[in-house]
Structure 1
Amino acid sequence: MAVTVTVDPKGCSLWDEPVRILASGLAPGQRVTLRASLRDEKGALFRAHARYCADAHGRLDLARAPALGGSFTGLEPMGLFWALEPEQPLLRLVKRDVQTPFAVQLEVWDGHDPEPERLLGRTEHERHFLGPGVRREPVRAGRVRGTLFLPPGADPSPGIIDLFGSGGGLCEYRASLLAGHGFAVLALAYFRFEDLPKYLNDLHLEYFEEAVDFMLQHPEVKGPSVGLIGFSKGGDLCLSMASFLKGITATVLINGCVANTIVPLHYKDMIIPDLGSHPEKQTITESGLLDFMDTWNNPLEESNRQSVIPLEKAQGPFLFIVSLDDHSWKSELYAQIASERLQAHGKDKPQIVFYPETGHCIDPPYFPPSIASVHAVLGQAVFYGGEPRAHSRAQVDAWQQIQSFFHKHLNGKTFIKTSKI
């Protein structure tokens, strides 16, 4: 009997959707090794493997069978996805073109030897980033540069603006996946993209105000306000937007700062200086990676107070996603400072979700955790922190938290978590 490898749902799934991996036609108790691999758009190879034993009926179900070794151990139904590692060290798996899927190769090999030699069965499964009916519209409106993702259906949908960090460019994969959950999401670039500034020299909040206006004037975006989601530098930009701009409701900050960072922020006749840092305080890990956690100035010190984003007029509610092993900066401290300042000004206490053993880069579910990688602008290898298994679980939970928060505060609905595993 031939060995058959199947993935449920069959053929393809969305990247943030769990799948069920099964193998049949094995001998009872047979020792096998499962391998997963994919290539990104630049041809870089990512691989993972795990060792298993078939059950008494010659079947293997990764939702029930624990891995006995390899890239991970224990019961990890999605381990072959989140444990993918680059063949070339320090590459981060990102999706550059959301219009095409990642093709994941899954193979079953005989035995547990370090290099099993007999292939028993294989299949290919496509992981997509555009859900059924989700529309992708490039945005070149005035100065605004980005991509709008619209969910299926004719009715206007609650809007979200999505900002990434200091790597620049246009990152669409989070926005495209969020759109599949009922939101109109604008992935917004602000430097290193087309005719936008090549370098992050300074920022003008009017650009982001123009993006808010674009969303609120769009016929398929439900007003009278929009939500924001920002990671790292994008987080403090979202906090500034919620504090100074009109039309903001519900903001998610993923490991953001309570102060303006990296470059000055201009708005009308106001300038918020950057928090400042001391690069000479950066440390080097035993693996030769840069660690920036202790380089940033303390926003609590009097000399740095002007850099702290004024929260007197901040429009909540807020959700802070916080990693407790963040080695880019002290995200836990920043969230606590923001919470205290918001409440001191009569605002509601923000929701804060802490994730132990989780590093700076929190992506949607099943992306391999970026514990360390080469920074897009610096061109140097940076340590972000985190333990892969805990970080992976944090990404799954954070994704549910984000959806629940936006459904409640933008859509007035209760979010119900669903899973096929």
Structure 2
Amino acid sequence: MRTWIGIACAVALLTAGCSAQVTEAGPRITARPDGVSVAVPVQVTVDGLPAGDQVRVWARTYDRRGQVWESSGEFVTDGVGQVDLSTDASTGGTYTGVDPHGLFWSMRLPEDEQAPYPLLDADDMVVLLGVDLGGATVARTTLRRVVREPAGQVLPVAEAGLVGDLYLPPGTGVWPGVLLLGGAEGGRPDPAYAALLASEGYVVFGLAYFGLPGLPKTLTRIPLEYGLDAARWLADRPEVAGDRVGLVGTDKGAEYALMLASSEPSRFAAVVAHVPSDLVWPGFSVSTATQVSSWTRAGADVPFLRWPSSRGALSAAAGPAVQSADAYEGAVASASRWRLGVARIPVEQITSPVLLTAGDADGVWPSTAQAQRALASIEGAGNSSGTQLLNFSGAGHLVGGVPDLPTTRTAVTYGQVTVETGGDPATTAAAVRNTFSATVELLRKAMPRGRG
């Protein structure tokens, strides 16, 4: 089993030992619940301290590269020498205000370190928590947060022309199936997100659609038939209940998801599109002279909206992080009504319930405007299954995925280009917690539970 640290005692590399508490009667920091899903809210409390003293509560963990992530909050103990991070405000450190999750999303690396993407590729995350008084650490504890249930399975898939991984919940039986699509980073979708969805009782097929051997090298001319074949393959698995599956996509994967659900509506029981597009855009890593569609249908390019810039939205040379949302907005503003109509995804054909999520400070593309147009089209067609848009003011591009991971690093690399995803870290972190809960709620309402 892979963890951020491997085993809990490895946090001793950062401290003098591996004991959870200093003394029973003295200062104590408690974090609970321990050893449960990362999606479950956490309560961190401190007691046994002098009343009215300034204390620093901190957290540390490792990523898979062995880099240390750290966070802290500053508090004043109450009249009985206690601090409760669920109700007490931090006045300094890496976050301020009342936020029981603040120590987790505000973790950061030294400025000269490179954050991995996706950040978490592990079965669980072990966090060392401590409290400092007068510059000295007086108590510490560890907290393990589970991403993949130990009894679950991950099966590599390389058959029927498909590439990806199949995530099975613990136990035996049949469960609803979910097809998971990653974004423009390519390769396999975030394994942490796939594993966490599987732990909620779903067979999750994390489908790679470019960037791996046997698949297109770039996000260009990806067949719609490939995604539809994957949905059929998943529904036919003996572990999967029913003949319809859920569909969850992020970024370009959300664009792909809306294309798939529009092409074969009866195949999908529910659709979740994190920061989606209602338009088809060109494939990445191409110049204006050779712009081609991201997708094909029956071997022909799906019509798309061209970028007016000679370099395209994400094809600039390597350099500092850039925001590309303006390029997308400019392309929409300068396009004729006919061009927009040709490039529009016919989302009104979707018959299943749909959840759209977006952040209005998205630096990658204008996901709020794109999601609003998609919502209007679906609702205008009278979709009786229900459509919901969760739009978060001040949040950036990374509003979908695993809750309580750090949101302090917002630059994402697409090939040779580094894009600033935008948004306030605290707001984006709150959005992720909301979107995960809403995703699970939609899937549970729309899909049979099967026999566990």
Could you state the TM-score of these two structures normalised by the residue count of structure 2? 0.82
Q: Partner residue of 1:393?
A: 430
Q: Partner residue of 1:403?
A: 440
Q: Partner residue of 1:383?
A: 420
Residues 182 and 48 (structure 1), Cα distance of their counterparts in 2 relative to 1, 3 Å cut: same
Q: Distance in 1 between matches of 2:165 and 2:208?
A: 9
Aligned pair partner of 1:160 in 178, 183, 188 = 178
Aligned pair partner of 2:229 in 210, 235, 239 = 210
Q: Distance in 2 between matches of 1:30 and 1:370?
A: 29
Q: Distance in 1 between matches of 2:382 and 2:46?
A: 57
Residues 254 and 139 (structure 1), Cα distance of their counterparts in 2 relative to 1, 3 Å cut: same
User: Does the 8 Å contact 1:282/1:290 carry over to 2?
Assistant: no
Q: Distance in 1 between matches of 2:302 and 2:230?
A: 20
Q: Distance in 1 between matches of 2:449 and 2:137?
A: 51
Measured after TM superposition, the shift of residue 319 of structure 1 is 1.1
Q: Partner residue of 1:82?
A: 105
CA offsets per residue over residues 12-60 of structure 1, 9 Å max, x none?
3322222221223322223211111112111222211111122333333
Confirm whether residue 91 of structure 1 aligns to residue 120 of structure 2: no
Aligned pair partner of 2:359 in 313, 323, 327 = 323
Measured after TM superposition, the shift of residue 359 of structure 1 is 0.6
Residues 223 and 273 (structure 1), Cα distance of their counterparts in 2 relative to 1, 3 Å cut: same
Residues 269 and 136 (structure 1), Cα distance of their counterparts in 2 relative to 1, 3 Å cut: closer
User: Does the 8 Å contact 2:362/2:395 carry over to 1?
Assistant: yes
Q: Distance in 2 between matches of 1:242 and 1:333?
A: 20
Measured after TM superposition, the shift of residue 164 of structure 1 is 1.3
The structure with the largest strand share of the pair is 1
Aligned pair partner of 2:350 in 306, 310, 314 = 314
What are the ranges of 5 or more consecutive residues in structure 2 without an aligned counterpart? 1-24, 284-292
Could you state the TM-score of these two structures normalised by the residue count of structure 1? 0.88
Q: Distance in 2 between matches of 1:313 and 1:106?
A: 50
The code of the aligned residue for 1:396 comes to: R
Residues 109 and 387 (structure 1), Cα distance of their counterparts in 2 relative to 1, 3 Å cut: same
Q: Partner residue of 1:293?
A: 325
- Between 124-133 and 74-83, the greater mean CA deviation after superposition: 124-133
The code of the aligned residue for 2:176 comes to: P
Q: Distance in 2 between matches of 1:282 and 1:206?
A: 26
Q: Distance in 2 between matches of 1:347 and 1:269?
A: 30
Aligned pair partner of 1:38 in 61, 64, 76 = 61
Aligned pair partner of 1:354 in 372, 375, 391 = 391
Q: Aligned residues: percent identity?
A: 27
CA offsets per residue over residues 190-237 of structure 1, 9 Å max, x none?
122343333223211121122112111111111120010111100010
Measured after TM superposition, the shift of residue 370 of structure 1 is 5.5
The code of the aligned residue for 2:126 comes to: A
Q: Distance in 1 between matches of 2:379 and 2:443?
A: 21
What is the SS of the residue equivalent to 2:248? strand
CA offsets per residue over residues 247-268 of structure 1, 9 Å max, x none?
1121011111011223221122
Confirm whether residue 49 of structure 1 aligns to residue 72 of structure 2: yes
Q: Partner residue of 1:277?
A: 307
What is the SS of the residue equivalent to 2:395? coil
Confirm whether residue 260 of structure 1 aligns to residue 280 of structure 2: yes
The code of the aligned residue for 2:267 comes to: G
What are the ranges of 5 or more consecutive residues in structure 1 without an aligned counterpart? 414-421
Residues 278 and 48 (structure 1), Cα distance of their counterparts in 2 relative to 1, 3 Å cut: farther
Measured after TM superposition, the shift of residue 81 of structure 1 is 0.2
Residues 278 and 98 (structure 1), Cα distance of their counterparts in 2 relative to 1, 3 Å cut: farther
- Between 16-25 and 230-239, the greater mean CA deviation after superposition: 16-25
Confirm whether residue 13 of structure 1 aligns to residue 33 of structure 2: no
The code of the aligned residue for 2:368 comes to: E
What is the SS of the residue equivalent to 2:411? strand
Residues 194 and 121 (structure 1), Cα distance of their counterparts in 2 relative to 1, 3 Å cut: farther
The code of the aligned residue for 1:384 comes to: T
RMSD: 2.6
Residues 194 and 34 (structure 1), Cα distance of their counterparts in 2 relative to 1, 3 Å cut: farther
Measured after TM superposition, the shift of residue 344 of structure 1 is 4.5
Total equivalences in the alignment: 403
What is the SS of the residue equivalent to 2:301? strand
The code of the aligned residue for 1:271 comes to: D
Residues 343 and 66 (structure 1), Cα distance of their counterparts in 2 relative to 1, 3 Å cut: closer
Q: Distance in 1 between matches of 2:402 and 2:180?
A: 13
Q: Partner residue of 1:333?
A: 369
Q: Distance in 2 between matches of 1:231 and 1:320?
A: 10
The code of the aligned residue for 2:430 comes to: R
What is the SS of the residue equivalent to 1:27? coil
Q: Distance in 2 between matches of 1:300 and 1:189?
A: 34
Q: Partner residue of 2:218?
A: 199
CA offsets per residue over residues 301-352 of structure 1, 9 Å max, x none?
3224322223353332211112121121122221222233334444346221
Q: Partner residue of 1:184?
A: 203
What is the SS of the residue equivalent to 1:105? strand
Q: Distance in 2 between matches of 1:44 and 1:379?
A: 23
What is the SS of the residue equivalent to 2:80? coil
Measured after TM superposition, the shift of residue 127 of structure 1 is 2.2
Q: Distance in 2 between matches of 1:341 and 1:292?
A: 25
Confirm whether residue 122 of structure 1 aligns to residue 140 of structure 2: yes
